[in-house]
Structure 1
């Protein structure tokens, strides 16, 4: 996961947290978190990159909509990332 941008990591976390996530649902979640617009030109190329890297699976939900899901590799990498992050935190807070 070290080769991903922060935005790409955020995409993985949002896909992990949504049921039947599709592009617009992911976009809505990120816009709420970032408190600003996420443009299609940023969202979809990054989702495609995650598919190409083997971290997301993409399937047609209907004629206009794709649904995304984490691969087993993505789940393992998210777990490893969380362990790494928690090694720097105690009880969800910073050590210093």
Structure 2
């Protein structure tokens, strides 16, 4: 077992490694819901993923996230069909998979092998980012 530095959260499954999704449970004061301070990994992930309501994502990337939120875990073909239906034109597989890979790289979508195909699913951080985006959009519509 690797030793942890004092500023890492011992309850964080990924402390010192890849980003953990627990940062989305933090309160405004920068703590996990259980009251513990964020570890370095959580803090980095919090700043990178949770700080904006998807402002640096393309329209198709945001649309993919909305589809995953609505349909749950989905294969790329299903996502492509949903996008094509919404855009009323065919969306190429390379465009869909290229954007899915970017979302996986940003840790807001997970990819797992499902037989011959891959299945994609929104992470907790992705769901949190969509909720922030929805709140922002609703505040614009409501004129706040």
Judge same fold: TM > 0.5, yes or no: yes
Q: Deviations over 1:48-83 (max 9, x none)?
A: 000000110000010x21111111111110000000
TM-score, normalised to structure 2, is 0.60
RMSD of the TM alignment (CA)?
A: 1.0
SS at match of 2:56: coil
- Return the match for 2:68 from 5, 10, 15: 15
Alignment of 1:1-96 (within 5 A): 1-62=54-115, 64-90=116-142
SS at match of 2:137: helix
Higher helix share: 1
In the TM superposition, residue 2 of structure 1 has moved relative to its aligned partner by 1.0
In the TM superposition, residue 20 of structure 1 has moved relative to its aligned partner by 3.0
Pick 1 or 2: higher relative contact order, CA cutoff 8 A, min separation 6: 1
- Larger Cα-atom Rg: 2
- Structure 1 outlier segments of 4+, above 2 Å: none
TM-score, normalised to structure 1, is 0.89
SS at match of 1:48: helix
Distance 2:72 2:109 in 1: 14
Distance 2:72 2:55 in 1: 26
